[in-house]
Structure 1
Amino acid sequence: MDANPTLDQLQVFLAVAETGSFSAASRALNRAQSVVSYTIANLEAQLEVTLFERNGVRQPKLTDEGAAMLEHARRIVAGLQDMRARAKGLRQGLEAEVSLAISTMVPAEAVVNVLRDFRVEFPTVGLNLNVGELGMVMEMVLNRKTGIGIGGAMFHQDDGLVIERIGHSFMVPVAAVDHPLVLLNRPLTLADVREEVQLVVTDTSGLTKGRDFNVLSYKKWRVSDIATKYQLIKGGLGWGGLPASLVRNDIITGDLKVLELDAYEGGEYPLYALRKADTPAGPAAKWLMDAFQHRLSQCPNTKSFLEAMTSMTADGVRDAAE
């Protein structure tokens, strides 16, 4: 007959192993020592292994088999505790899982910090995370492929969505330090960029089909995602706009240069929290939206960002000279 240990037996086993004796375990569990010894004996009989060495030692010592079983027992008991916590949360209206879509325009640092706090705040809630470009966030919420979205690109109003502005981000036109546009070493005109390759992200959602934003060059290389665009720009293969949060360190180190190009329409890129109007946010989803709003509302504007970058790069030049 297969072994079928009970949760009580496993908890007694853990208590003896962690306290180091049958007597200490009996005090911790508020049970008679004989009951503890009997429970361990029954568990050993079911598993057909000896868990503790008892002969010739003052305190019971785990056998090799006992040490191996201990890890299994811990996982089983922890799993049941997690199941109990999740069931309690569900009874109280807490989601079993939150599905979240985030735009690449949302600073990665903010995403990591919010999700780190989320894990602590809601340890029993699962997370299904999608990160994408342009209209992907809105499309996923509209099609119920995700519960909440954090991003921009509100290309049209939809009465079926609840949309709340929670912060902003912005794009800056950049190129590698050895790119021809950077080597001009002056403010750029539209004529300067017309014949240079501009890297552009294609919106796979279809919400912006036939529409280009800030595309100024005649020569366009289209890529599927921001990460690829970023690597190609760093490699000197073209110029283009990238999220300020993504290129901040590259600007400070001098690997990328911000292009002074009046024709490029900068300004703040609003970020929104989105959900379907007929699907109220649960406690965990509401917490996420509030947490992102708190983080993103503190992002600098374009002017202060560029001033900070100028100051940092100037300090770096002075430090190198000294």
Structure 2
Amino acid sequence: MSQIVRVFISQVHSPLLDPLTLDQLRILAVVADTGSFSAAARQLGRVQSAISQSMRTLETALGTAIFDRAGKIPTLNDAGRVILADARRLIEGAGALKARAESINSDIEPELTLAVDAIFPVEVLAGSLKDLARQFPDLPVTLYTEGLSDAEQRLRDGTARLALYVPFGDVADNRDMEYLVRIPTVAVVAADHPLAAIEGPLGRDVLEREVQLVLTDRTSIADGLSGGIVSHRKWRFADLTTRLEFLLAGFGWCRRMPTHMVREHIASGRLKVLDLKEQSGPDLAIHIVYVRGRPPGRAGRWLIDHLRKELQDCVGCGEEMVESV
């Protein structure tokens, strides 16, 4: 344990006022940076005697000498160099604390926690969060990417403040929702799969004989993204990425794959769009969900507005691409 930390711990139990101040630590850092008491005094706009007295008070508070005064100019000794490193961390922490308080006073969340459904376009999410970091550099962000119903669970247990997902069932009374984007989906199969060679439209009598790759949540209560199970043989997956890999490998067919995830594979000929007799149903509507009375703060609202703009370019052309295949 460092010397400066030991002093802080011991003084927690002291009835006296803490003689160690942030100003002393800042002066110590300036003395180290400028190389002398006199140079630090000039930079800080103080008299040299005040700098010298402040450093002696710091040594008294720490209970150890941190300067070697044998020469003409006091220099940091071994203990002083170790304590200087601790002091710089405390100064940095104090700056972060002040920035956090200023952010809170400006209606910026102390921390932004997001739970995002895995169907959300990851390139848009990553780009928007990168821009968010530039706009709000002191804002801590925690991101959870979840499967079906799990994003809602993060909101329910208080882990996340904002959740972006497709609400398949009834939303709790203490939730507020805002529509964000409609994700187009398409029925697809690998180009070398037997279904790819059959002219459509395909009915249940054909589809039910082949393996259907179904996305489900961990509790197996939500098959919303599968868009309806047709096949007698089905393989269930908890995440989209794994299901896509099995789809590309020809293990089965998918009824509702998010268009943005398969667009390039369709264009390259690795996947084929299936012409089905039964329509897959409406596209998937992602909503922003949060606890009523705790709406997004300034950073959260900035992120939502940014996502809306970026999503227009990523998702909006999905239907046109599929129709042209």
Shorter-chain TM range is: 0.7 to 0.9
Give the CA deviation at 1:128.
3.9
Q: Distance in 2 between matches of 1:229 and 1:185?
A: 23
Deviations 1:228-285 (A, max 9, x none): 323332443223243333344555666x413333346276432222223343333233
Q: Is the aligned partner of 1:86 residue 2:91? A: no
Identity %: 28
Deviations 1:27-48 (A, max 9, x none): 2211123333443455456363
Residues in 1 aligned to 2:85 and 2:124: alpha-carbon distance in whole angstroms? 36
RMSD: 3.7
Cα distance in 1 for residues equivalent to 2:224 and 2:317: 29
Letter in 1 for 2:307: F
Shift of 1:107: 0.5
CA distance in 1, matches of 2:237, 2:104: 42
CA distance in 2, matches of 1:9, 1:304: 66
User: Who is 1:26 aligned against?
Assistant: 41
Instruction: Tell me the matched-pair count.
Output: 305
Letter in 1 for 2:202: T
Structure 2 SS opposite 1:85: helix
User: Could you say which residue in structure 1 is the equivalent of 2:316?
Assistant: 300
Whether the 8 Å CA contact 1:175–1:257 is kept in 2: the answer is yes
TM norm structure 2: 0.75
Q: Distance in 2 between matches of 1:122 and 1:199?
A: 41
| Residue 73 (str. 1) matches residue 87 (str. 2) | yes
Do structure 1's residue 189 and structure 2's residue 202 form an aligned pair? Answer: yes
C-alpha distance in structure 2 between counterparts of 1:170 and 1:24, whole Å: 66
Tell me how far apart the structure 1 counterparts of residues 200 and 162 of structure 2 sit (CA, whole Å): 41
Structure 1 residue aligned with 2:164: 150
8 A Cα contact 2:190 2:272, kept in partner? no
Q: Does the 8 A contact of 1:95 with 1:284 survive in 2?
A: yes
Which runs of 5 or more residues in structure 1 are unaligned? Answer: 311-322
8 Å CA contact 2:162, 2:289 repeated in 1:
yes
Task: Confirm whether residue 39 of structure 1 aligns to residue 54 of structure 2.
Answer: yes
> Relative to structure 1, is the Cα distance of residues 48 and 271 closer, same or farther in structure 2, using a 3 angstrom cutoff?
same
Deviations 1:180-228 (A, max 9, x none): 444x286562354332211111134676479951433221011222233
- Tell me the CA shift for residue 78 of structure 1: 1.0
Partner of 2:32: 17
Q: 1:226 to 1:210 in 2, by over 3 A?
A: closer
1:6 aligns with 2:21: yes
3-state SS of the aligned residue for 1:297?
Answer: helix
Superposed counterparts of 1:260-279, under 5 Å = 260-263=274-277, 265=280, 268-279=283-294
Distance 1:116 1:211, change over 3 A: closer
Tell me, yes or no, if the aligned pair for 2:237 and 2:243 is still in contact at 8 Å. yes
CA distance in 2, matches of 1:116, 1:283: 16
Q: Is the Cα contact below 8 Å between 1:96 and 1:124 reproduced in 2? A: no
Does 2:117 match 1:95?
A: no
2-structure distance, mates of 1:12, 1:104: 50
Q: Are 1:216 and 2:230 an aligned pair?
A: yes
**Alignment partners' CA distance in 1, 2:289 and 2:226:** 23
